[in-house]
Structure 1
């Protein structure tokens, strides 16, 4: 079966946001193009890493002689988006893997997101010897769908900034043990009996 591709090129809006309170937040990448809205669930760590890697790519592109792609060094003020996620948030899928690339022909960053894919236990041969070498192609499972979002450099810089802010807006960390402090309280367990 062919993979269903949800592609948003030059979207009107692309942000990472959360649903829920600190300590039980769910993270989503949400992209809108016209009336089409796609929301994909992410882990907090995936969100943070995505922002970090986008900034790395943009910083690298800025060092190209003469900055031919006009990569901004900071977030253009007109692209700042502090609005919450659009409601209702209807999850397309939970992200398993992502890839990040650069398309010089359109001067856009390309984010590809794939759902978590698990091999169906019913498809496995019960008599297959685990010690035998297996052909890697037998274990490859095509994803049923994917999301592709292509964004220009200014939007990418704004996206990364907002994502870092959203990730950092969680529970404060204990200054002694570095674990998150819950709203109900915190019992700090320090090493060596302190």
Structure 2
């Protein structure tokens, strides 16, 4: 079966967002452009890791290639609107790939569909990209050839805006327990650090 590449280079809008209430949220990456909207689901930890690695990518691109980077995203670029409806999941993300294109001074993000043998969370930087590779297995590209993917190309300013929003989305959930790190419910939770007693 042939795979599908949803390419937005650049998108009109690319954001992380959620559907559902805190404690029962589904996380999405959503790209819009050319009359199309593509939404892919992923884990909260993947959104958090993506924001962290994009930050590292921008800093390293500035150091190595002299790219001018915004300290914070301009207010005009900030996007606090909900995800575009309908939010139809194209696929679930298994791997996130990052690269910095020196020729165009743009960040390339690729979300690749989860395969049967994919780990829960994986983020791979392109070998030509400035960030160190988290996964040393260089042969990962071959099995991914038949998997769907979402590819976006962002300016540094748009990348900064994505990072800022992704962090707000991740932090908008339930606060973590200071002892075990698990999310706190309004009525408390069974904390393993308290031998199962409610906090």
TM-score, normalising length from structure 1?
0.81
Q: Is the 8 A contact 1:59 1:73 kept in 2?
A: no
Corresponding position of 1:88: 86
Q: Which runs of 5+ in 1 are unaligned?
A: 120-135
Aligned-pair CA distance for 1:7: 0.5
Deviation at 1:140, TM superposition (A): 3.7
Task: Find the counterpart in structure 2 of residue 18 from structure 1.
Answer: 18
Is the Cα–Cα contact under 8 Å of residues 117 and 143 in structure 1 kept in the other structure? no
2:39 aligned partner: 39
Tell me what 2:158 maps to: 155
> Is this contact kept in 1: 2:61–2:100, CA < 8 A?
no
Residue 73 (structure 1) aligned to one of 71, 74, 78: 71
Give the Cα–Cα distance (whole angstroms) in 1 for the partners of residues 19 and 152 of structure 2: 21
1:150-189 to 2 correspondence within 5 Å? 150-189=153-192
How much does 1:52 deviate?
0.4
CA gap of 1:148–1:173, structure 2 versus 1, over 3 A, is: same
Q: How many residues align?
A: 175
Relative to structure 1, the CA distance from residue 62 to residue 73 in structure 2 (aligned partners, 3 Å threshold; closer, same or farther) is farther
Contact 1:41 1:93 in 2 (8 A): yes
Inter-partner Cα distance in structure 2 for 1:193 and 1:36: 48
Q: Shift in Å at residue 177 of structure 1?
A: 3.8
What is the distance in 2 between the residues matched to 1:41 and 1:102? 24
2:76 aligns to what SS in structure 1? helix
Decide whether aligned partners of structure 1 residues 171 and 140 sit closer, same or farther in structure 2, where only a CA change above 3 A counts.
same
Comparing 175-184 with 145-154, which one deviates more in the overlay?
175-184
> 1:181: how far off?
1.3
Asked if the contact 1:115/1:143 (under 8 Å) is kept, the reply is no
SS in 1 for 2:15: strand
